[in-house]
Amino acid sequence: MNRDIKRWEVNRKTNRIFYMGILLESRGLQQVAEALYILKKQGHLLQFDVVGELYSSLEKQLHALPFWGEVSEQIQFHGRLTLEKGYAISRNAAVGMCIIQPMKNSVGSYPTKMFEYMAIGLPQVTSDFPLYRSVVEENDVGICVNPSNPSEIAAAILSVLQHPEQAENMQQNGLQAAHKYPWSGEMEKVYSLYSRLLS
């Protein structure tokens, strides 16, 4: 299966990171927000596009973060969108975030998001659970990190942004590898949708 992300109108050489999915405390938004704060202090100003419904309980937790005022303008909540509109936003992202916190049902099962990012050629920063590493690291489609460590998350994001050749390899590797997994039937739907949207 030959996938060539270059024929799509995408711009992966940006300072934007991306998440699309359910917005719960277990999805690591607080940790990513702190990673943005760490990077900002280092002189790296990033934008974080978040697609999904933001529930009031999580919103309160985010606003209670001691550094929230420093990063709130860097995070854009787009609300719940159709897949088409969500993927349209992702075409200007450099990194997809999959920072799932350790829970019994998450550690032992694949996140769909991980394969979606692969199918659209989006390098990812993902939790370092053994099951996830067996996909992400073995196929070189992203970087696995401790999901509870914002400094490690920040370093991984910066690594992708500062090494464009490595990021390009991750893009192509993801497109090639996504079809190898049981999720491949859904991958074809995602690829077809993204192709129609961005061609």
Q: What is the pLDDT of residues 164-190, one digit of tens each?
A: 999 999 999 998 887 777 655 555 665
The model's pLDDT over 30-44, given as tens digits with 9 standing for 90+, comes to 999 999 999 999 999
Q: What is the pLDDT of residues 7-22, one digit of tens each?
A: 456 888 899 999 999 8
Task: Check which CATH number belongs to the domain holding 80 and give it.
Answer: 3.40.50.2000
In 3D space, the residue among 168, 173, 41, 46 whose CA is nearest the CA of residue 97 turns out to be 46
Structural domain span for residue 163: 11-194
Single-letter amino acid code for the residue at 150: P
pLDDT surpassing 90 at residue 76: yes
Q: Which residues contact 50 (CB under 8 A, 6 or more apart)?
A: 19, 20, 23, 29, 75, 76, 77, 78
Are 147 and 32 in contact by the 8 Å Cβ rule? The answer is no
Q: Rounded to two decimals, what is the model's pTM?
A: 0.86
Domain membership flag for residue 102: yes
Residue 4 lies in a domain: no
For residue 1, being part of any structural domain is answered with no
* Domain membership flag for residue 101: yes
How far is the C-alpha of 63 from the C-alpha of 59, rounded, in Å?
A: 6
- CB of 141 closer than 8 Å to CB of 119: no
In a domain, 80, yes or no: yes
**Tens digit of pLDDT for each residue in 42-52?**
999 999 999 99
123 assigned to some structural domain:
yes
Residue 75 lies in a domain: yes
Q: Is residue 199 part of a domain?
A: no
Number of domains making up the chain: 1
